[in-house]
Amino acid sequence: MLKLSNRLQTIADFVSPGSRVADIGSDHALLPVYLIQSGRIPSAIAGELNPGPFEAARKQTADAGLTSKLQVRRGDGLSVLQPGEADTVTIAGMGGSLMSSILEEGFTAGKLDGVKELVLQPNVGEEFVRSWLLKHGWFLAEEAILEEDDKIYEVLHAFKYDEAEAKKRNAEVYDSSFLSLPAYQDKGPAILEKMGPHLLRSPQEVFFKKWRLELEKLGRIVTQMSQSDLEQAEHKKQQFRKEMNVIEEVLQCLQTGRPSSK
């Protein structure tokens, strides 16, 4: 049986047992091959646009003896999927903006009809994915954050409910009253969308590391912009400083009451 990276294993662990999976942007088809080999799912579709990874996925499938259970299809995003073919869609290893575009195009084309579960791992721009899920009535049930090979990843696990139920559940998840941020009360839901409602409720050390690194990056950008006399640069600099202030306040709020690591 294949051994997955911690990132892919986290995604695999979120997939509901017995579901039919469509893995979009499957690369070498490692995830669907593992899910079938482990007995977690009965069948899968692996979608890949680029010729190299597509051929690699076909070879991986053949070498594993799974050609009868795993279909490798070449195509862009969810175009490889027919309505009703999958219960679960997994997408990993791309930016959140691109991921949300793929989901939107798939939704518009009816490709998500019958899909009940999404397991999504954006490399950056997680807020774009959370925003898409909220807009389209998906309930964000779980989130995970992990570090592997000096990179930090987030995995989002969402389920489809009827509109009223999804709205009710998401209202609870995106209730920011647990954050003590008097100066930013009106920004509460946006902060949760950006930083992760579940991750904020149970912050791990890797979560703090991610946002400290983000503060350092924003600080470098502000320093560079300080060297410019352009009015536009000054405006952007102020925006970045406001963003930094919010992040710092949130981290300070979360650190309060945490047990010391010493």
Out of 111, 144, 173, a domain closes at 173
Task: Please give the pLDDT value at position 30.
Answer: 97
Residue of 256 and 117 predicted with greater confidence: 117
**Residue-range definition of the domain harbouring residue 241:** 178-255
The verdict on 126 and 190 lying in the same domain is no
pLDDT at 257 over 60: no
The verdict on 21 and 141 lying in the same domain is yes
Assigned domain for 114 exists: yes
Strand locations in the chain, DSSP E? 21-24, 44-48, 70-74, 88-94, 117-122, 138-148, 151-160
**Cα dihedral angle (28, 30, 36, 40), rounded to 10 degrees?**
-150
Q: For position 31, which CATH number holds?
A: 3.40.50.150
Percent of the chain at pLDDT exceeding 90: 87
Assigned domain for 1 exists: no
Task: Please give the pLDDT value at position 258.
Answer: 61
The verdict on 166 and 234 lying in the same domain is no
**pLDDT tens, position by position, 25-74:** 998 999 999 999 999 999 999 999 999 999 999 999 999 999 999 999 99
CA atoms within 13 Å, Cβ hemisphere of 219: 9
Assigned domain for 47 exists: yes
The verdict on 121 and 182 lying in the same domain is no
Domain count within the chain:
2
**pLDDT tens, position by position, 95-152:** 999 999 999 999 999 999 999 999 999 999 999 999 999 999 999 999 999 999 999 9
The verdict on 167 and 182 lying in the same domain is no
The verdict on 158 and 29 lying in the same domain is yes
Q: For position 224, which CATH number holds?
A: 1.10.287
Task: Please give the pLDDT value at position 182.
Answer: 79
The verdict on 152 and 184 lying in the same domain is no
Task: Please give the pLDDT value at position 104.
Answer: 98
Crossing angle, helix 188-195 and helix 231-255, to 10 degrees? 90
The residue among 81, 159, 168 whose CA lies nearest residue 116 is: 159
The verdict on 89 and 202 lying in the same domain is no
**pLDDT tens, position by position, 222-239:** 998 888 778 788 888 889
Assigned domain for 41 exists: yes
**pLDDT tens, position by position, 192-210:** 999 999 999 999 999 999 9
Task: Please give the pLDDT value at position 260.
Answer: 46
Distance between CA atoms of 207 and 196, rounded to whole angstroms?
Answer: 10
Task: Please give the pLDDT value at position 262.
Answer: 41
Out of 173, 204, 229, a domain closes at 173
The verdict on 224 and 138 lying in the same domain is no
Output Rg (C-alpha) for the chain, integer angstroms. 20
Assigned domain for 124 exists: yes
The verdict on 62 and 146 lying in the same domain is yes
Out of 147, 173, 199, a domain closes at 173
∠ CA 32-37-40, rounded to 5°: 75
**pLDDT tens, position by position, 156-191:** 999 999 989 999 999 999 999 999 887 787 889 999
**pLDDT tens, position by position, 206-220:** 999 999 999 999 999
Task: Please give the pLDDT value at position 228.
Answer: 79
